[in-house]
Amino acid sequence: MRVKVRPLNCTGCALCELACGFHWDEAFSLISSSVLLYRAEEKKDYMGVIIKTEEDLFLGRPEGTAEMKLGEIQKQGAGGGASAKPILIRQTCDLCKSAGVEPQCVEICPHDALYLE
Amino acid sequence: MQGRSRRAAGDPVFDRYRKVFSEGSTLYPRIAVYTGSGASHSWIWFADIFDRLGLFDVRFIDESSVRDTGLSGFDAFFIGGGDTYEMAFSLGEDGARAIEGFVRDGGFYFGSCAGAYLVLSGVDLEPFTHFNLIDGAMLNSMAAPPEPRCLEHKYKSAYGDGWVFHPVYGEVTVTGQHRAIGQCVNAPLFGGPVIGRAMPEDVLAEYSRLTERAAYLWPRREAEEFMIGRAAVLRSELDGGTVVVSGPHLEHPLYTAANALAAEVLTEHFKGRSGRVSRPSRSAASNSDTAPLLLEIKRQVSNARIVGFGLEKMPVAWRLGHKVWEPEKIRMFLECAWERLPFMEEHAELMGPSGGGLEPLARGYADVTRISKSLKMRIESGRDSQAEASMLLLSLKELTARFLSIYFRLRLETGFGRD
Amino acid sequence: MDVMYYGDTLIVDLPTGKTEQVEFSPEMLTENGPGLAAGIALYRDHEDGDPLVFGSGLLTGTTAPASSLGFVLGKSPLSGELAVSPLSLFSGAEMKLSGFSMVVIKGDSPKPVYLWLHDGVADVLDAAELWGLDTWGTTDAVRSEMGEQLVQVVSIGPAGESPSKLSAYSINYWGSGDTAALGARMGGKKLKAVALRGLGMLDAEEPQDFYEGAKGLLSEAPAWKGFNKACEGIDAGDIDGWLKPLVHRYRSCFACPAACNTFVKYNEGPSVMESTGVEEPGMLVTGAASAAWLLSGGWKAEPACRAMESMARAGIDLIRGARELAGSPLDDASETEEAVGGLSGGEEAGWPGGDSSPKGLFGPWVPPLADEDEWLLANRIGYVIGICPTYLLASGMETSGLFGLCSSAAGVELDPSMVAGMFS
């Protein structure tokens, strides 16, 4: 069971990041969530969602989804490799089990862009 | 400090130890933390523990300090994670002798992850031959480990004709008889040793459970069969000193029960000792010129944090020596300074002439901002970023060590236990 | 512990380029009220410096539904009266996280400057190289300088620099709801941009109560995509149907269940989802009113969107510009650009079918979805607590739940009459 993304449902509201950040920090911020909204290419409206787990990244890119094992893309590009240290600044997704609740990002998303499978 | 870090720092588990080291107590160890060649980022977690315990007589030293001074003037020496090969090469035979002499003379050695491998007797190929402080072998090595399920880049590193490998990467539970452990303690294992052939009386804790907060490079059942019941934390006396090694990072700031275990063994070592411990003098000199320097540091650390945050979502990592460094680690170093700046701002007037070394720090962090931006541009344009990343990370490590030295000096000067 | 706001009030003295930080006390929230109410009090305190005040509402930046709203407050060059314009998209939240509770920008700078507000550090930086750039170029340049694409850039284009009363500040590339020509005030101050970024955290007084309360409201909050829902009952036309052939995706402002903002592509196929080599494939249409004017004037969607892009780039008020353009639909891209260049600013802001623009503190950015009293109250509540007034009106959300959040967030007790009293 993991959190997956329907990328084209996403409208980029960042509620998932806020809810996840709250789960970890009991405060509101966009810096510590396990779910990451990618919105760095604003002029192109290229936007996606990344879920960080212990073993991989679930990438909800507009052109499709992928599960990328950490370390796998290290072989690609310029020194490339997915960020891997499991518990650093950003916790990996624990499906909110440590709080004993349903995954908050899934619950809070207004457009069903996130789901459990 | 906010969120989880604030909650962890305020955990009442630390109250007991703060009392032990509080003003009026005869226990106040002088501490050295290794930040030299081979050390990764995890040594900054020790700074968090010392903050929580009210231990402020802390220096951050490199291999030449170890070799040249023989750790004289210190009571405790901590080595965290990193590239064990590079540590051993850099410290060399002189460093090994210095550390051993320090312990035999009554010092306290704490090594986690790389700092544990370094001194295990069973890790005995070159360049580790001279480092031998505690009986134990690393069981996580074999000639041809099976292919990993994930985290291939974290899985193994060469050792002699074979490999050191890591079947699990993340949170584990350790259990032992020690009163600080209680029933069990969770801590993260990021490539630390699974220990065998230890003296039974040295085993402080064993791996007892693997959790869901971990990546399984081996199938979970096989990883459990391999690890559970095997030693995770050892403690041994060596002449007058104490050696503690731990596979998991007991110093990780989000694992307060593990922090308490580390604090407990530290406290036990010093209990009943006298003579070696001293209370530092306070020699605060009033200086009102430091506020602008601190603001400049704050400005540059903030700028670099913002760039570092952007780097975190980029699919890159860099191999420096035997270790893989991810962009997240850039911000880890910066957060370490960022969280402590408010305290320094509050006590700026006590920081001595020229802010006690703040000016080079301000210049250094400005360089860090510049290099971070340039690094990001290289990555965005698909160019190789290895050299720039290496320069940035080394520079951050050095700056953070200098920053923390100034911070802890100020902590000492403002008195014990004061926030 | 700071709750819902952190950091001081920043006072920027543009004539000297110096900044001063003044404690933002909790009393500010209770004595004057939060958000815009506090902003107005600060404006009055510094009125002799003809200030612009940047700030955010009490709940801005949280999980409260549609908690995206920040504000810019100043004397409108159009009316000579105090006026407020929105900081929407992610700029309101970034204002909240900038490390400054409120920002007061006084006087005029002798040379072009921009403000870089980050994590409680305020830098007044030279903008000589930005002066003359349009808002797209300015946003790109500032983000490149700061090394981060998530920096929110509130900037003016050539229209604001002149300063033309037709001007408006732009939020990143996409224009804004500034119908009070506060962009011209920025230009008069030689303030090219305010760039915002913060990596902090917002604390609530009763975090779990707040979070559960907000989640409860969100579970009931209607979600939608496009502009039509936010224009129901007014004569705005079928904006969504008109834009549909160009629609790439819909975008929300921060924490908003409604994704009104519509990204249209006309320089590459709207269905292209990959990040291609086309650097500027289209435009994020953020204003229903401007779209409604062009639609009502018989414009085809593509040239209309190109016209909106040109206005956003130039830093022109999209509503008044679109109203002026509406009567003369154009097809050709170069003609469109020329027409935008020739705008006179003779029209008032407002909505098609409406009699005139609403007067007073609030501009017609928020559609007239209710009678004037209710509309006014929605604006007041929205700007005080940081919730988009358009969402308040279009969703029909009860404000009592939001006031409950104010209590758990910061111990601030509010009700509609108290909010109304803050503006008396």
> Contact B32/B62 with Cβ under 8 angstroms?
no
> Contact C24/C30 with Cβ under 8 angstroms?
no
Lowest mean pLDDT among B170-174, B241-245, C304-308, C350-354: C350-354
- Pairing type for strands B318-320 and C102-106 reads unpaired
Are A26 and C207 in contact (CB < 8 Å)? yes
- Pairing type for strands C102-106 and C52-56 reads antiparallel
Q: How far apart are the first and last CA of chain A?
A: 5
Average pLDDT over residues B212-234: 95
Sheet holding C282-285, edge to edge: C247-251, C261-265, C282-285
Are B169 and A38 in contact (CB < 8 Å)? no
Q: At residue A106, does pLDDT exceed 90?
A: yes
Q: At residue A116, does pLDDT exceed 90?
A: yes
Average pLDDT over residues C366-387: 95
Residue C183, domain CATH: 3.60.9.10
Dist. CA B405–CA B399, nearest whole Å: 10
Residues 6 or more apart in contact with residue B378 via CB below 8 angstroms = A78, B384, B385, B388
pLDDT at C253: 98
pLDDT in tens, C231-276: 998 989 999 999 999 999 999 999 999 999 999 999 999 999 999 9
Confidence of residue C31 (pLDDT cuts 50, 70, 90): confident
> Contact C298/C290 with Cβ under 8 angstroms?
no
What percent of chain B is modeled with pLDDT above 90?
67
Chain A residues with CB under 8 Å of B214 CB are 54, 86
The whole-angstrom distance between B373's CA and the closest CA on chain C is 5
Dist. CA B330–CA B307, nearest whole Å: 10
pLDDT at B280: 55
What does the mean pLDDT of chain C come to? 95
Q: Ramachandran region of residue C255, left (φ > 0), alpha (ψ -120 to 50) or beta?
A: left
Q: At residue C321, does pLDDT exceed 70?
A: yes
pLDDT in tens, A14-65: 999 999 999 999 999 988 899 999 998 999 999 999 998 888 889 999 999 9
Q: At residue C177, does pLDDT exceed 90?
A: yes
pLDDT at C358: 56
Average pLDDT over residues B96-120: 97
Dist. CA B326–CA C377, nearest whole Å: 50
Range of the domain at C66: 9-197
pLDDT at B414: 82
Chain B residues with CB under 8 Å of A88 CB are 326, 328-329, 332
pLDDT at B179: 75
Range of the domain at A43: 3-116
At position B237, the amino acid (one-letter code) is: E
Please give the backbone phi and psi of residue B158, each rounded to the nearest 5 degrees, phi first. -65, 140
> Contact C156/C135 with Cβ under 8 angstroms?
yes
pLDDT at A81: 31
Is any Cβ of chain B less than 8 angstroms from the Cβ of A39?
no
ipTM, 2 dp: 0.96
Dist. CA A60–CA A12, nearest whole Å: 12
Are C147 and B373 in contact (CB < 8 Å)? yes
Residue of A nearest to C208 (CA): A26
Report the 10 Å Cβ neighbour count for A112: 11
pLDDT in tens, B129-139: 999 999 999 99
Confidence of residue A85 (pLDDT cuts 50, 70, 90): very low
pLDDT at C324: 96
Confidence of residue B150 (pLDDT cuts 50, 70, 90): confident
pLDDT at B408: 94
Give CA separation, B338 vs B200, B303, C204, in Å.
43, 11, 22
Average pLDDT over residues B206-225: 94
Q: At residue B180, does pLDDT exceed 80?
A: no
Chain B residues with CB under 8 Å of C148 CB are 306-307, 309-310
What does the mean pLDDT of chain B come to? 89
What does the mean pLDDT of chain A come to? 84
List the subunits that have 3+ CB pairs under 8 angstroms with B.
A, C
The whole-angstrom distance between C391's CA and the closest CA on chain A is 14
Domains B3-270 and B290-413 share a fold: no
| Number of folded domains that form chain C | 1
Handedness of CA B209, B212, B213, B215 (dihedral sign): positive
Dist. CA C159–CA C143, nearest whole Å: 21
Dist. CA B34–CA B224, nearest whole Å: 32
The whole-angstrom distance between B369's CA and the closest CA on chain C is 9
Report the 10 Å Cβ neighbour count for B309: 21
- Would you give the distance in Å from CA B361 to the centre of its chain? 21
Dist. CA C215–CA C218, nearest whole Å: 5
Secondary-structure percent of chain C, ordered helix, strand, coil, rounded to 5: 35, 20, 45
Are C147 and B309 in contact (CB < 8 Å)? no
Residues 6 or more apart in contact with residue C41 via CB below 8 angstroms = C28, C31, C32
Q: Where are the alpha helices (DSSP H) in B140-274?
A: 152-155, 220-227, 256-270
Residues 6 or more apart in contact with residue B315 via CB below 8 angstroms = A73, A76, A77, A80, A81, A82, A83
Dist. CA A11–CA A112, nearest whole Å: 10
Lowest mean pLDDT among A59-63, B20-24, C101-105: B20-24
Dist. CA C281–CA B282, nearest whole Å: 64
Is any Cβ of chain B less than 8 angstroms from the Cβ of A1?
no
Report the 10 Å Cβ neighbour count for B405: 18
Strand runs labelled E in chain A: 3-5, 35-41, 46-52, 56-61, 64-69, 114-116
pLDDT at B281: 55
pLDDT at B287: 60
Confidence of residue C162 (pLDDT cuts 50, 70, 90): very high
What percent of chain C is modeled with pLDDT above 70?
99
In terms of CATH architecture, what is B290-413?
Up-down Bundle (1.20)
Confidence of residue C357 (pLDDT cuts 50, 70, 90): low
Give CA separation, C135 vs B40, C53, C132, in Å.
43, 21, 9
| Number of folded domains that form chain A | 1
Q: At residue C130, does pLDDT exceed 90?
A: yes
Q: What is the DSSP letter of C385?
A: H
Size of interface A-B (CB pairs under 8 A): 126
Query: Least CB-CB distance to C121: which of B3, B298, B307?
Result: B298
Residue C127 lies inside a defined structural domain of this protein:
yes
Dist. CA C210–CA C71, nearest whole Å: 23
pLDDT at A83: 33
Tokens of C308: 């909106």
- Pairing type for strands C170-171 and C224-225 reads unpaired
Residue C138 lies inside a defined structural domain of this protein:
yes
CATH placement of domain B3-270? 3.40.50.880
Residue C349 lies inside a defined structural domain of this protein:
no
Are A27 and C207 in contact (CB < 8 Å)? yes
Beta bridge partners of A60: A49, A65
pLDDT at A15: 98
Q: At residue A73, does pLDDT exceed 70?
A: no
pLDDT at B361: 94
Q: At residue A74, does pLDDT exceed 50?
A: no
Residue C329 lies inside a defined structural domain of this protein:
no
pLDDT in tens, C58-67: 999 999 999 9
Dist. CA A87–CA B179, nearest whole Å: 27
